[in-house]
């Protein structure tokens, strides 16, 4: 029975759908990456081919491929800054829903922790010295920032403590301090004087500033010495001229200083004047004069009992022979006055007394 199709009459028709196998979808991604530093920026890419999207020609009504980087973003490429090694995976979907995925492995080079240390340099004087910083591990291309403003591995400066920050090419930093240590010895100071009560004995006082660990060395100038801080005194075996030297040495860096003083060792002062003499020409006790040891300047005056000066001498060997103006004086008692100075002593001393003249 014929079918009524409305306005006109026709026979049945057929629509034929041809089904083709979809072209295979494929994906190429960037090679695996090895980074020197964590946090370093790196671009990774994906490139899809085939699938239905590969049959499309621009301009596209819809994108032939959709790229999804897991937990990163969309697009055929992306920039990441990883702080640890791991896979960055992408899934591509074409317009017909066909999917393919792949991953890029981003590895981070493992470097040992940046470790830095610096020197302690000892100096005996306030002079320029050099200290350096030493870095181990970390990445290369190190930079330096010293507290004195230098950007060198080594600095030259005066005694003090200097901090330094070292940064490697990955921005990792480590800080340490170096020191230029002044170990200067103090100036040695001492006094000495001859003991007034014992011949050839020198008394010594050490006034050098006391520092922990400071050692002392005395050279008395007579092939003897001491390591005591206060030797207090030293006995010389004979009169003479000596150099007394004190040296001081620090404990840390053996810094040394010394000073010397000239020492004149003389017998003690001695004075004796007899109380009588007999100028009778028998060559026994015929003159009057004192016996003196340790004097420099000398004068002797002889006076009669009226106070008249009858003799003068400035030579200890020139003694009075009992005359005045080449004539013998009478037996009696006469007064002497002797003026002297002692070795290494500017004080003027006077000795008075009486002497009996017998004929």
Q: What is the pLDDT of residue 20?
A: 57
Whole-angstrom Cα distance, residue 348 to residue 299?
11
Q: What is the pLDDT of residue 5?
A: 47
The dihedrals phi and psi of 52, each to the nearest 5 degrees, come to -65, -35
Q: What is the pLDDT of residue 15?
A: 77
Q: What is the pLDDT of residue 9?
A: 54
CATH topology of domain 25-108: Immunoglobulin-like (2.60.40)
Helix (H, G, I), strand (E, B) or coil at 193: strand
CATH number of the domain located at residue range(s) 270-357 in this protein = 2.60.40.1220
CATH topology of domain 190-265: Immunoglobulin-like (2.60.40)
Render each residue's pLDDT in the chain as its tens digit; 359 residues: 455 545 545 556 777 766 657 789 999 999 999 998 888 999 999 999 999 988 888 898 899 999 999 989 999 999 999 999 999 999 999 998 999 999 999 999 887 888 999 999 999 999 999 999 999 877 778 999 999 999 999 999 999 999 999 999 888 899 999 999 999 999 999 999 988 777 789 999 999 999 999 999 999 999 999 999 999 999 998 888 999 999 999 999 999 999 999 998 877 778 999 999 999 989 999 999 999 987 889 999 999 999 999 999 999 999 999 999 999 999 999 999 999 998 767 789 999 999 999 98
Fold identical between 115-182 and 190-265?
yes
Whole-angstrom Cα distance, residue 232 to residue 203?
6
Q: What is the pLDDT of residue 22?
A: 79
Q: What is the pLDDT of residue 18?
A: 61
Whole-angstrom Cα distance, residue 317 to residue 290?
9
Q: What is the pLDDT of residue 163?
A: 97
Q: Whole-prediction pTM value?
A: 0.59
Kind plus residue range of the DSSP H or E element containing 132: strand 129-136
**DSSP secondary structure of 320-354:** B-SEETTEEPPSEEEEEEEEEEETT---EEEEEEE
CATH number of the domain located at residue range(s) 115-182 in this protein = 2.60.40.10
Handedness of CA 206, 209, 211, 215 (dihedral sign): negative
Domain boundaries in the chain? 25-108, 115-182, 190-265, 270-357
Q: What is the pLDDT of residues 21-57, one digit of tens each?
A: 778 999 999 999 999 888 899 999 999 999 998 888 8
């Amino acid at each position: 029975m014929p079918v009524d199709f409305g306005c006109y009459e026709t026979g049945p028709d057929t629509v034929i759908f041809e089904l083709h196998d979809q072209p295979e979808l494929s994906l190429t991604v960037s090679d695996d990456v090895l980074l020197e530093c964590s946090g370093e920026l790196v671009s990774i890419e994906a490139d899809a081919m085939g699938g239905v999207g590969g049959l499309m020609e621009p301009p596209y009504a819809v994108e032939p491929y959709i790229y999804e980087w897991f937990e990163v973003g969309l697009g055929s490429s992306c920039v990441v800054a990883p702080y640890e090694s791991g896979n960055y995976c992408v899934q591509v979907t074409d317009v017909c829903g066909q999917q393919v995925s792949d991953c890029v492995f981003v590895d981070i080079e493992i470097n040992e922790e940046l470790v830095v240390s610096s020197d302690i340099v000892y100096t005996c004087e306030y002079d320029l010295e050099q200290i350096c910083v030493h870095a181990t591990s970390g990445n290369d291309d190190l930079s330096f920032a010293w507290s004195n403003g230098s950007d060198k591995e080594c600095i030259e400066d005066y005694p003090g403590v200097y901090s330094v920050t070292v940064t490697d090419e990955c921005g990792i930093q480590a800080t340490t301090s170096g020191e230029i240590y002044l170990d200067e010895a103090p100036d040695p100071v001492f006094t000495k004087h001859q003991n007034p009560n014992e011949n050839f004995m020198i008394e010594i006082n050490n006034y050098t500033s006391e520092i922990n660990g400071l050692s002392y060395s005395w050279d008395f100038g007579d092939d003897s010495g001491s390591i005591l801080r206060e030797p207090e005194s030293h006995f010389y075996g004979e009169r003479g001229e000596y150099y007394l030297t004190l040296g001081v040495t620090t404990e840390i860096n053996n810094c040394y200083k010394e000073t010397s003083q000239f020492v004149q060792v003389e017998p003690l002062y001695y004075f004796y004047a007899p109380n009588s003499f007999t100028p009778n020409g028998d060559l026994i006790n015929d003159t009057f004069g004192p016996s003196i040891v340790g004097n420099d300047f000398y004068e002797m005056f002889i006076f009669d009992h009226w106070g008249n000066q009858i003799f003068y001498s400035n030579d200890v060997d020139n003694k009075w022979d009992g005359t005045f103006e080449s004539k013998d004086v009478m037996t009696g008692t006469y007064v002497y006055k002797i003026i002297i100075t002692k070795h290494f002593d500017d004080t003027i001393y006077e000795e008075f007394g009486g002497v009996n003249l017998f004929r």
